[in-house]
Amino acid sequence: MDMAKRALEIANELGADAAEVFYGKTVMKSLSVEKNILKPIYSETEGLAFRIAKNRNISFSYTYDLSEESIRKTIKTAIKSAELKGEDPNYVGFPNFKSITSSFISEDIKGLELDDLGKIYDELRGMFSGEKKVVLISGELAYFEGSYRILNSEGVDSVMEGNAVVIGVSALTKEIPPNHTFKYTVERKRDIKVDEIFEEILKKAERIIGCKEISYSGEPEIVFTPSALGMMLTIFIGQIDASRIKMGMSPYTRESLGQEIANKSISIFDDPLNEKSLMPTKVDFEGVPTKRRPLVNSGKLTTILNDFYHAKLLDLDPSANAVRHSIWGVRDPVTIEPTISPWFITFGGKEKALDEIVEEVQDGFLVESVMGVHQADPASGKFSVPALAVRIQNGELKNPVRKIMLSGTMNDILRNMDVISKEREHTFLGEIPYTRTRGIKASAEKAPLGYRIKMKIANILLRLGIIKF
């Protein structure tokens, strides 16, 4: 008998009222590069995680020791913890959806080795070698292969498996101080278009080289790049998380469903089946079937992200967003309880080419990156963040500005977001467009004169080759 099924039996023998067994095996081969330093890494983990119900409550534990003795000990610990929690009046047990096999294994990349990752980076590095304004500075390239199974005492026996190549590379503009740009992509084929990665980084870097100091105060039009919007959207994602709504730590409630919270021309989706995502899947980590669903449909809030428990608690349609965070990432999914998270965010709505969007802006900024979004007030969505942005005047991109303060609320961003670009970019959050919005206050001021003079001299010396980058 397989060990996951046996573990379910053991839970029953030990007196669990109900149980869920999660089996996970993850192999990762990764190559970390910082300038000319290479670090190959190999890791392999295989373990079992349990969620055990006792006296109408559930607790969690896991083990990497797959002996029956260790499984028993771990389940006993979970039973004891569930008892200590006391009865949950909202206890719902485990889901009883039909079993699903979700396989996104690409045979093309199976067995990819560290040497193959080294060749990809080497090719990319070669492309950057002749560049005078931009330097490739680091990369994280990894091949992941994961095999997961969810069984529960309601009869669920679902399988999730997949593999992917993940590439993240960083480049700097050759100036003092430099600006940073980044490209992230997930691939499921060996023939990786390295030249496209190169071109994309170059295009982004060229926009942000040569920052100027400006003084500014106003409420300009803001065009977010996909990476900047991806960061800002993490505020919104938290606000539509059922566990936070339940706690009152969101401006939204269950009654917000169907209400207009964003501009009518915008729709936002969560797409678990999108093959560009790190882990496309037909089933979530509790065994609930997934599907592409709108979070915001033509400006109206249509989904509150939930897991099985919160779906029942708030009387919501199950959205299948129970995710073992950091899937294939630094933390092993076995060690993490499922929590609510989107799978892969995409956009729909009124589209224009980025050039057209910029042309329509008289006084604005193209925001390339933002810092400190995690400091935003989760309850109100209020933020105040420094950004790297490119000035837009009379429909044209002008000079970049290293630090402009943006302040407003997530609500402002969504309600005033009137157009998205045809262009999309792959980010950690999903496939995101450029977007234009208003209602955000912006301010910038020049650095002290002494500092500006020092930077000016340093850049002259750099150009003359007297100091090296």
Partner 1 sequence: MIDKIFSYLEAKYKRFDIRFETHTSRIIELKKEKIEKLFETCSAGYSVRAVENGKIGYVFLAGEKPEPKDIKFKIKLPWAKTLDLKPTAAIKDKVYVTATKPLENISIDEKISFLRDLDRILVEAGIENREIYYSENIVEKHIRNSEGTEILMRIPYAYVRLTASYKYQDRIASIRRAWGIIGGWEQMDTDPLRELYEESAEKVKTSAQARAVKPGKYNVIVDGDLNHLLAHEALGHASEADLLRVKTILQGRRGKRIASPLINLVDHKKFEVNGVKGYGWIPYDDEGVSGGKTYIIREGIFRNFLTNRETAFEFDLEFTGNGRAQDWMNPVIVRMTNTLIEPAREDLAMSNDELIRELRNGLLLKYGRGGQVNPMAGVFTFGVQEVYLIEDGEIKEQMASTSISGNILIALKNIVAVGREYDRPEIGAGFCGKSGQLAPVGASGVWLVIKNMHVGG
The footprint of partner 1 on residues 149-188 (CB under 8 A) is: 170, 172, 177-180
- Residue 148, SS3? strand
Q: How many CB atoms lie within 10 A of CB 391?
A: 20
Residues 15-34 that bind partner 1 (CB under 8 A): 31-32, 34
What CA–CA distance (Å, rounded) separates 47 from 297?
40
Rounded to 5 degrees, what are φ and ψ at 266? -120, 135
- Residue 74, SS3? helix
DSSP tag of 195: H
Using the contact rule CB under 8 A, the part of the chain among 52-60, 195-203, 273-281, 354-362 near partner 1 is 52-60
One of 374, 422, 446, 456 touching partner 1 (CB under 8 A): 374
Structure tokens at 228: 């900047």
Does residue 443 touch partner 1 according to CB under 8 A? yes
Does residue 68 touch partner 1 according to CB under 8 A? no
One of 1, 330, 449, 464 touching partner 1 (CB under 8 A): 330
Tokens 């919501």 map to which residue?
316
Does residue 127 touch partner 1 according to CB under 8 A? no
**Closer residue to partner 1 in complex, CB, 247/353:** 247
What pairs with residue 301 in β-bridges? 296
Structure tokens at 15: 């007196």
Q: In angstroms, what is the minimal distance from the CB of 405 to partner 1?
A: 5
DSSP 287-309: SPBP--EEEEETTEE---B--HH
One of 42, 191, 255, 449 touching partner 1 (CB under 8 A): 42
**Closer residue to partner 1 in complex, CB, 193/374:** 374
Does residue 355 touch partner 1 according to CB under 8 A? no
Does residue 386 touch partner 1 according to CB under 8 A? yes
Residues 289-328 that bind partner 1 (CB under 8 A): 326
Does residue 46 touch partner 1 according to CB under 8 A? yes
Tokens 């997961």 map to which residue?
148
Using the contact rule CB under 8 A, the part of the chain among 115-123, 145-153, 181-189, 410-418 near partner 1 is 115-123
One of 9, 13, 115, 195 touching partner 1 (CB under 8 A): 115
Q: In angstroms, what is the minimal distance from the CB of 371 to partner 1?
A: 4
User: Are the C-beta atoms of residues 370 and 228 closer than 8 Å to each other?
Assistant: yes
Q: In angstroms, what is the minimal distance from the CB of 246 to partner 1?
A: 8
CA-CA-CA-CA torsion for 88, 93, 94, 96, nearest 10 degrees? -150
Q: How many CB atoms lie within 10 A of CB 205?
A: 21
User: Are the C-beta atoms of residues 261 and 414 closer than 8 Å to each other?
Assistant: yes
Does residue 446 touch partner 1 according to CB under 8 A? no
- Give the residue ranges of DSSP H helices in 150-307: 194-208, 226-239, 242-247
**Closer residue to partner 1 in complex, CB, 248/465:** 248
Residues 335-354 that bind partner 1 (CB under 8 A): 335, 337
